[in-house]
Every structure is written in C-alpha cells, then in structure tokens.
Amino acid sequence: MKSAKKKKKIKNTLMTVIAVVLFVAMMFPLYWMIITSFKEEKMVFATPPQLFPLKPTISAYVVQFTSTVFNILQGLKNSMIISFFAMVISVVLSIPAAYGMARFKLKGKRIILLLFMVSQMLPQISTLVPNFIIFQKLSIYNTYLAPIFADATLGIPFCILMLRTYFISIPKEIDEAARIDGCNSLQSFIKVVLPMCSGGVAVSFVFSFLFAYSDLVYSLTYINDSTKWPVTVGIYNAIGRYGTAWSQAMAFGTIVAAPVIILFIFMQKYIVEGLTAGSVKG
C-alpha cells in the first residue's frame, strides 16, 4: 500500500516538474519580448544576456505611439473593427449550422464535415486570388468588408466543428421535453439548448476573434489604403532597409499581444472547456 502511494507521489512530482519546464519553455519567448522592449537598442545583444534590463526605458514605446509612418492606435482600431465583425459573422452562421449537423440526419454530412476539416488545412495563400477576384466584382476591395469576409472563412469551419461537439453532448431528450412543454423546434433551440452551450459559444467568439486579429495576409492583400490596415501590418515599420530596430519591434509586439493576453486572462475558463469539448465523439 505504501509502495503504491510512493509511486503515485513520485509520478505526480515528475508530472509537475515536466509541466513547469514546458510552461517556462512556452512563456519565455513572451517574457523575452516584453523585457527586450524596455532595453536600450545597444543592450539587446549584450553579452552576457540581461534577463532583466538594468536601465529600463520606454523610448521604444514612445517611438511606436508617436510614429508618423504608421499610426499604431489607428491600426488597433482597424484590427478591432475587422476582428469584431468577422467574429460576429463566424459565430452567427456557425451556431445554426453546427446544431443542424449535430441534431438532424443530413445526406452527405460526413463529406461536409470532411470538407470543413480540409478547409482548416489549406494555406491562406491558396484562396487569395479567387477571393481577390470576387471582392473586386462585389466592389468591396479596399474596404473593411474584404478582410472581414475572408477572415470569417477561417472562423466558420472551426466554430462549426467545435460547436457540433457541444450540441452532440446534450441529450435529445431535452429537446423533446421542451416540445412537450409547448416549445417548437426554434424555441427549444433558443431557450433551452443554446443556453446550455454558452461555454462553447463563448469559445467560438474568442477563437474567431483571434483568427481575424492575427491575420496579416488577407488584410495586406485586400486593402491598399494604409489608413485601413490592421495593426499586424505595422510590424514592417520596425524592419528597416538597413537593419531591424529590435527594441522597437519588441515594443510593437508587446502592444499587439496585449489585447490577446487580456482576452485570455478573462476567458481562460471557457477556452479550456472548449479544448476539452473535442473529446466528445461525433
């Protein structure tokens, strides 16, 4: 008995050590980006490396917020506009689609699911030219709508595949009980089933937002007006023709990553639930 407890304790300790090592390895690049943004340029490649700046400075942030080449605040505003509407479109369209895929017998459902999975594997560059032609024909090229619709195509397949697992996990008897109480199919979906999947919906909002917020290729291709560029495009300003201002690049990266970090802090509970929901077999 004692031997079994001792083995379990050793196993738990080993798993904890591995978890800590993995956490440090994954978080160190983020830490290094943040502390480098507070270093003077000449100290970025100092030997030995400084794990913490001895003379921290905010000059790199001052350069970013006062730059006349790229307005980072306008870029953040553009990113929020594009990401918000891409998120709304993705989730609003994904919820009924995922519910239908989970609850009803549809011909070719497996093929449709396979196509959704394949669409997640395709590189963004494969859709640039077709989308470019479509957006020009629709007269939405060089507007916010072009990257919004393009980013929505990234979020919709992911949200459908994830939300479907949530709907599958809810017994069909709940729908039947709601109908017995006087609800029709739409009412039972809105009033009963959907609230039970609030965690999955929240995760869908988060990931579809992140897909759009991190996009660079679509926005750079479908918008040629620099005043409408999202913040991700501004990284080019820290990369000069004759070299890279690393402290400024790290400051830019910290500013861009800040909304994502804040979002994760407040939504981490739902994100973890969304990752574990995929274990439900469909």
- pLDDT number for residue 281: 45
Alpha helices in the chain (DSSP H): 2-36, 59-66, 72-103, 109-121, 128-137, 145-169, 172-180, 185-188, 194-196, 198-213, 217-222, 246-277
Distance in angstroms (rounded) separating the CA atoms of residues 113 and 168: 14
Q: Which CATH number fits domain 69-277: 2.60.40.10, 3.40.50.300, 1.10.1040.50, 1.10.3720.10?
A: 1.10.3720.10
pTM of the model: 0.84
**CB-based contacts of 61: which residues, under 8 Å, 6+ apart?**
37, 251, 255
**CB-based contacts of 97: which residues, under 8 Å, 6+ apart?**
156, 160
192 close to 178: Cβ distance less than 8 angstroms: yes
Residues 205-259: tens digit of each pLDDT: 998 999 999 988 898 899 988 889 999 888 776 665 556 778 888 989 899 999 9
Distance in angstroms (rounded) separating the CA atoms of residues 90 and 84: 10
* Domain ranges for the chain: 2-59, 69-277
